[in-house]
Amino acid sequence: MCEAREAMSATQSPVMKEIPPKSEDLSSWYTAVCLKAELVSYAPVRGCVVLRPYGFALWERLQAALDVRFKETGHENAYFPLLIPESLLAKEGEHIEGFAPEVAWVTQGGGETLPERLAIRPTSEVIIGTMYAQWIQSYRDLPILINQWANVMRWEKATRPFLRTLEFLWQEGHTAHATEQEAQAEAAQMLGIYREVAEGTVAVPVVVGEKSSSERFAGANHTFSLEALMPDGKALQSATSHELGQNFSRAYDITFADTDQQVKHVWTTSWGMSWRMLGAMIMVHGDDRGLRLPPKMAPIEVMIIPIVRGEEPAVLAAAQALAQELRAAGRRVRVDERDDKKPGFKFADADMRGIPVRIEVGARDLANGELVVVRRDQERGAEGTKVTVARDAIVTHLATLLNEIQASLFAQAQAQLARGLVTAEHRDDFLRLCRERAGLVEIPWCDQPACEAAVKAETSATTRNLRPLGVDQQPARCVACGEPARVRAYFAQSY
């Protein structure tokens, strides 16, 4: 994305007349889609966006998919303050050092200069840990399983909608446990939930693994993540789950009396997914016509378009009756009743907004007891894209069709990811593939920060996730530096 677009304010937001080809310039295509589909508008503050109703509806779909799973696993929602005193933030040294460049500070309230700076939360381990120290006294108080839906702020230099903005929406879970084993199980469980939602709801396939020490969350013992691959060969970190050990509990004195009457520090985790997942969905599934939304994520699953020629009130009435029937069957439906737009415009508009299915209702269709049904996931004109369905079979047909579209988009995305998973056996090939953004480039790796720093300096690529080397692959040498390999690592440039 060009710098001019990144810095646009609300007064400079362009009116997008058309969407450029995705394959020619993914960045310009992405910006155009976000604006033209009315997901966001640029705010007067640099690096911030206004989330418009259609964009917020996407966030609500993601939020709902996550929230129900959190509650099924015993987690409860709570809310903690936005502002964090500097003295609290400074207690966990590694944590504050890791976030210092991104922290925004409040130094004045009204006309009063504050005696202590207040950080606008970049994440909430500090304030939540402080409260847990008050709430936890005994093993009977454990585990604490809390999730927070919130906004956070990180003072980013380069921004783009959903992927990287100064202020963004997310959820952050924070749990406290009596044993290390419980905390490890919690971190693994939440990573599994994120993968289930990413692949089963958002239809974005991911690579799961542990972060290197250089990429690990500041203050964590272990960080695990989901990495999605974008069409330009860059990786997008889509969710993280952190096993924090006792680092924060020692810093904030979170202790409990155990069953053996010994006072011990709790073991904690934190985990989060943000609206960045929406950015992944947009880039992975979209095409030259705009968005393509998986039905489980679509605010509108079915757009009904009356084909009215002259005075045909029966057509509009039939479209409304159809919408009511589909809503009663649990479908999310809208009727495009705009009388100042022709059917062709409405078709293109529904396509641009990524609505999975549109139904065309005309006088001839009604006379024949039929409806024209068009699916969005396939190339225009492909066999089966447009079919005629008996009016009395539409509810059953849509239930099957929407499941097919969900599976189809995931299969297409899986194929894209498979093409982007590459291996390298020689250093020159490895560096070239990283520079060329060939995808997630896998090598045997030494797991040394100095090696990772050298690769980043040459190619801008870093490790995305690690996995075990495998018994059958030992002994092996790091492709990047030649030292003994300890793991296999995916390298890529990233957002």
Over residues 153-179, the mean pLDDT reads: 93
List, for residues 374-401, the tens digit of each pLDDT value.
999 998 878 779 999 999 999 999 999 9
Last residue of a domain, one of 417, 440, 460: 417
Please give the radius of gyration of the chain, using alpha carbons only, rounded to the nearest integer: 25
Does 323 fall in a domain? yes
Same domain, 237 and 368: no
Closest CA to 491 of 472, 465, 468: 465
Indicate the SS3 state at residue 446.
coil
Q: pLDDT value at position 60?
A: 98
- What domain count does the chain have? 3
List, for residues 68-116, the tens digit of each pLDDT value.
999 999 999 999 999 999 998 888 767 667 777 889 999 999 999 999 9
Q: pLDDT value at position 6?
A: 40
pLDDT for 422 beyond 70 = yes
Indicate the SS3 state at residue 285.
helix
Is the CB of residue 196 less than 8 Å from the CB of residue 69? yes
In percent, the amount of the chain with pLDDT more than 90 equals 87
Last residue of a domain, one of 387, 417, 447: 417
Q: Nearest 5°: phi and psi at 332?
A: -95, 115
CA–CA dist 303, 299 (Å, integer): 11
Over residues 305-326, the mean pLDDT reads: 91
The amino acid at residue 145 is L
Classify burial at 11, counting beta carbons within 10 Å of its beta carbon; exposed 0-12, middle 13-18, buried 19 or more: exposed
Q: Taking the model in full, what pTM does it have?
A: 0.94
Is the CB of residue 237 less than 8 Å from the CB of residue 203? no
CA–CA dist 235, 230 (Å, integer): 6
Same domain, 383 and 257: no
Q: pLDDT value at position 95?
A: 66
Helical spans, DSSP H, in 381-436? 394-420, 427-435
Q: Nearest 5°: phi and psi at 221?
A: -80, -40
Q: pLDDT value at position 8?
A: 40
Does 75 fall in a domain? yes
CA–CA dist 206, 210 (Å, integer): 13
Average pLDDT over the chain, rounded to an integer: 93
Over residues 178-206, the mean pLDDT reads: 98
In percent, the amount of the chain with pLDDT more than 70 equals 94
List, for residues 317-369, the tens digit of each pLDDT value.
999 999 999 999 999 999 999 999 999 999 999 999 999 999 999 999 999 99
Same domain, 244 and 331: no
List, for residues 197-223, the tens digit of each pLDDT value.
999 999 999 999 999 999 999 889 999
Is the CB of residue 175 less than 8 Å from the CB of residue 146? yes
